[in-house]
Structure 1
């Protein structure tokens, strides 16, 4: 499988992608889940999240100012992300290596990242599209 990660800008091929527990970064999506009282598995800071879908990773990259899109190679077996409702879409592992910088600066001109994710995943149950 080919894995992608969208996130912190400025990484290079060969750099190790590490979880927030190891880097100390405060800018993470799990912080939003924590603030909203999400379940423990949604607030993990000891893993790196990966996806098999390039456009999903691109949407997550756009949550960062000047976020980047990377192709990555997990450094251990991956586990499915328990928050993801779509099988074979989202994974996590302790670390990954950057093997390619797909897009060093992801910009959404007329789409916000949350609108992009809704487009990819379809409308939420009970919501208007």
Structure 2
């Protein structure tokens, strides 16, 4: 898990713009996660299913995702990222897909989506350029 863990620790958490994060395979299997951040097997499966639906040109589920026990609602998306919000915890999440993995990054208020997107998509670009 070394290289993947460095991406989580240095690029995501180390940015100061992400509070919790994970990188999974496209099938949802966790490659690395920030300390204490756990996606259940059901959450991993749903994450993979949602990403396949959304990033293959489909609509995905309207309801959003549950990540580490917190329900997030989809507030937007683009060609490679989902933007999620949880009213319960005043938190948000960004899910970005590369060729071989899914990046999950959660952030808490007062951070805003516009501060977190560049961090997540920069890592996605780096992984895509490295054929991941």
Task: State the TM-score, normalized to the length of structure 1.
Answer: 0.25
State which structure, 1 or 2, has the greater radius of gyration over its C-alpha atoms.
1
**Greater strand proportion:** 2
TM-score (norm 2): 0.25
Which has the higher relative contact order, 1 or 2, with Cα contacts under 8 A spaced 6 or more apart? 1
